[in-house]
DNA sequence: ATACTGACCACCA
DNA sequence: GTGGTGGCCAGTA
């Protein structure tokens, strides 16, 4: 029952934007951001993939047009290439990826 | 089995 | 801000 990834993505609400790494971490796979990316790349059509961006706030390569439109429609401030701010989620207020990784705590 | 690539991420220069 | 490097996991040749 590893569908945690999809569950997490499905649980995203309107205007909530998070990064691949965040999803992976929340799902219980810290550092497995690429798995999330690949998952969406192949079968994420049933999921709100547009609420997922890179850790830098960049939109998904190749889907920028769609994603920008979807996010803008949900009240998220986005430019041609990245998310500026979202009402909720990781990019609420500031879009600065935390460097809390590496080096065990 | 090795090697390369990818809807990624973080560190360092 | 950009560019290079290492790491991660899975798919494909």
Q: What is the DSSP string of A31-80?
A: T-HHHHHHHHHHHGGGTTGGGEE-TTSBPPTT-HHHHHHHHHHTT-EE-S
The integer distance in angstroms from the CA atom of A34 to the C1' atom of C10 is 9
pTM of the shown model: 0.86
Judged by C1' against the alpha carbon of A50, the nearest nucleotide is B7
A35: CB within 7 A of chain C nucleic strand? yes
**pLDDT tens digits, A53-69:** 999 999 998 899 999 99
The pLDDT confidence band at residue A105, using thresholds 50, 70 and 90, is very low
pLDDT of the residue at A89: 87
């Amino acid at each position: 029952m590893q569908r945690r990834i999809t569950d997490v993505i499905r649980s995203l609400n309107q205007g909530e934007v998070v990064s691949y790494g965040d999803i992976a971490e929340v799902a219980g796979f810290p550092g497995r951001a690429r798995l999330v990316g690949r998952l969406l790349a192949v079968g994420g059509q049933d999921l709100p993939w547009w609420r997922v961006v890179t850790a830098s706030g960049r939109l998904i390569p190749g889907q920028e047009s769609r994603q920008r439109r979807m996010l803008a429609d949900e009240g998220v401030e986005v430019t041609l290439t990245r998310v500026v701010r979202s009402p909720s989620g990781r990019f609420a207020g500031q879009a600065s990826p935390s460097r809390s990784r590496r080096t065990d705590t």
